[in-house]
């Protein structure tokens, strides 16, 4: 291992975006000899009960990282930390894995290299910030999760909602959808929404495979990992595409989605899905094939290639 360090901001925060950043630190340590270090934004640790971490990076407070980082080090940061303005203030080569477009008011534009999580985010960066960023999609991992029940064994008219996204947009969409279905499709049962936080990841994956239909009402996503995970568990995805979900969502092929805020159309899609279970099962099967394309191995290969391309400039 060389003496250079790769600091990963928020590596142990319990969400999908920071998990991807953690894996960048892991790749840098395992493939390039960096010493990966997690920079904590608060009290988070590797024992958060949500994700498993094969590589336990040392953990230092954010303030300590800011004091220690040198021009020879790397910084891995998500755009949601743009308010810290690391690009303006810190030495070293700073890489931003841009996994969203709605989690920050203004992107830290003084970072050294940007990679987009989806084609939508790539186009957003180009249009708004004149950044030409390559795209590397995140990965999903369902290894070790028990096989989900077969389609025929799942409740025929139960919809599993997922509570994530801008709360006001989610809540008003949820209320409007419930009113439409109560009036026009009382046979459709909306289950208790799954929480977007605090659920161990393996447990969440298992729950995604218990229903025929997964409802996503997140209005704005850079990519949308959980709908893709629902596809991997053989569940038909219905709802909003989150904009960034267009990277892998194909309406009428591997899911039935529309852009926010067309909740009336979401209601129609749900009613149609429950009335045509054969078609829905076929869509769910195609969704499963889509999800299989987003493997950890593909993610790792793409990032190794990207690091080989940019690290020579990081001196």
Mark whether 164 and 176 lie in a shared domain.
yes
pLDDT of residue 199: 87
Give me the CATH number covering residue 201: 3.40.50.2000
The reply to whether 131 and 44 lie within a common domain is yes
What is the count of structural domains for the chain? 2
Residue-range definition of the domain harbouring residue 50: 5-139+295-313
Residues 29 and 104 in one domain: yes
Instruction: Give yes or no: residues 167 and 287 share one domain.
Output: yes
Q: Quick check: is 145 in a domain?
A: no
* 8 A C-beta contact, residue 112 and residue 130: no
pLDDT (0 to 100) of residue 315: 65
Residue 103 to residue 221: CA distance in whole angstroms: 9
User: CA-to-CA distance for 82 and 167, rounded, in angstroms?
Assistant: 21
Q: For residue 140, what pLDDT is reported?
A: 97
pLDDT at res. 195: 87
Q: Are 184 and 153 in contact (CB under 8 A)?
A: no
91 neighbors 69 (Cβ within 8 angstroms): yes
Which residues, listed in sequence order, are joined to residue 96 by a DSSP beta bridge? 77, 114
Q: Residue 214 phi/psi, 5° resolution?
A: -110, 130
Same domain, 88 and 192: no
133 and 252 co-located in one domain? no
> What's the pLDDT at 259?
97
Query: Quick check: is 239 in a domain?
Result: yes
DSSP string computed for 137-199: ------TTSPPPPPGGGS-TTEEEEEE-S-HHHHHHHHHHHHHHHHHH-TT-EEPPPEESSSS
Shared domain check, 286 and 299: no
Same domain, yes or no, for 285 and 159?
Answer: yes
Residue 68 shares a structural domain with residue 89: yes
**pLDDT one digit per residue (tens) for the chain, 315 residues:** 467 999 999 999 999 999 999 999 999 999 999 999 999 999 999 999 999 999 999 999 999 999 999 999 999 999 999 999 999 999 999 999 999 999 999 999 999 999 999 999 999 999 999 999 999 999 999 999 999 999 999 999 999 999 999 999 999 999 999 999 999 999 999 999 998 788 899 999 999 999 999 999 999 999 999 999 999 999 999 999 999 999 999 999 999 999 999 999 999 999 999 999 999 999 999 999 999 999 999 999 999 999 999 998 776
Domain for residue 88, yes or no? Answer: yes
Taken in order 276, 279, 283, 285, the sign of the CA dihedral is positive
Q: What is the pLDDT of residue 314?
A: 74
135 and 160 both lie in a single domain: no
């Amino acid at each position: 291992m060389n003496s250079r360090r790769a600091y990963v901001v928020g590596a142990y925060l319990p969400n999908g975006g920071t998990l991807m950043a953690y894996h960048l630190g892991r790749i840098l340590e395992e493939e390039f000899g960096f010493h990966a270090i997690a920079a904590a934004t608060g009290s988070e640790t590797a024992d958060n009960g949500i994700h498993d971490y094969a590589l336990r990076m040392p953990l230092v407070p954010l303030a300590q990282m800011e004091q220690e980082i040198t021009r020879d080090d790397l910084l891995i940061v998500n755009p949601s930390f743009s308010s810290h303005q690391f690009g303006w203030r810190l030495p070293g080569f700073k890489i931003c894995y841009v996994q969203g477009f709605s989690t920050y008011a203004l992107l830290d534009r003084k970072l050294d290299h940007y990679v987009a999580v989806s084609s939508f985010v790539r186009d957003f960066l180009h249009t708004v910030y004149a950044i030409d960023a390559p795209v590397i999609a995140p990965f999903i991992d369902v290894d070790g999760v028990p096989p989900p029940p077969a389609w025929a064994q799942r409740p025929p008219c139960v919809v599993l909602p997922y509570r994530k996204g801008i709360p006001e947009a989610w809540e008003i969409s949820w209320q409007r959808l419930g009113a439409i279905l109560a009036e026009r499709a009382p046979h459709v049962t909306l289950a208790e929404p799954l929480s977007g936080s605090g659920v161990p990841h393996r447990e969440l994956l298992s729950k995604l495979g218990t229903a025929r239909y997964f409802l996503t009402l997140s209005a704005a996503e850079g990519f949308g990992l959980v709908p893709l995970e629902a596809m991997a568990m053989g569940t038909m995805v219905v709802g909003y595409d989150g904009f960034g979900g267009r990277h892998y969502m194909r309406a009428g092929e591997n899911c039935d989605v529309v852009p926010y805020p067309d909740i009336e159309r979401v209601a129609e899609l749900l009613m149609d899905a429950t009335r045509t279970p054969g078609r829905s099962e076929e869509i769910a099967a195609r969704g499963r094939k889509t999800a299989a394309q987003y493997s950890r191995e593909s993610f790792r290969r793409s990032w190794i290639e990207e690091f080989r391309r940019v690290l020579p400039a990081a001196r």
